[in-house]
A and B are shown apart, each in its own frame.
Chain A
C-alpha cells in the first residue's frame, strides 16, 4: 500500500518569495505522483503530475515539482508566489497504472503582502 507524508501543515510566506512544499511517499511498487490545489470552498484541481520520463515536471500557475526516487520525494516549488496562490496543496500517489489515489494531509500555503 502507498502512503504520503506532507511534512508541513502550514507554510506562511511573503509575496514574491520562493516556496517549497515538501512531500514524501512510501511504496513498494512504482508510482505515479500528483499535486492538487484546493482553493477555499472549492474542489481540488490538478496542478501537475509525474507518470514517467523527465523527473522535473512543470504544471499550471508557474509551479514545478521534482521526482526523486532515491529520496522518495516529490517536492513542489514556485520561484515567486502571489497572493492568489494562497490555498491548500495536496500531494497524492497512485500505483503505476492505477486510477486510485492516496492523498497526503495537505499543506496550507498563506501568502502575505
Chain B
C-alpha cells in the first residue's frame, strides 16, 4: 500500500471550474512534490516544497496554484484549466528536504484529471 494518499482519484472539470487536488503523507518526510504525467510519458516536475516552503516552480502556468498547509499536506488548486491540462497528477514525497535530497521519491497513485 502506498503511504502517500491522493484525493480524488478521478476528477472531471469544466474550463471555468475551480477544484483542488489533495495529497497527504504521514512518513515525516520533509519535501513534497507535484508531477504531471501525460499518457505514455515520464512524469514532469511541477513544484517542490521543502520544509513547507516552495523551493521549485518549473515555470508552471498560474492556473495551477500549489499550497502546503503543513508538513503532511500538499494541495494543488486548479482554476480556468485548458483541455490540454488533462493528465495524471502525481504527488510524491522524499525523506529529506532538497539539501539532503537523495533522489528517492515516494509516489501516490495519482489523480486523473479530465478537463472538458
Are A and B physically bound partners? no
Chain A residues proximal to chain B, CB less than 8 Å: none
Chain B residues proximal to chain A, CB less than 8 Å: none
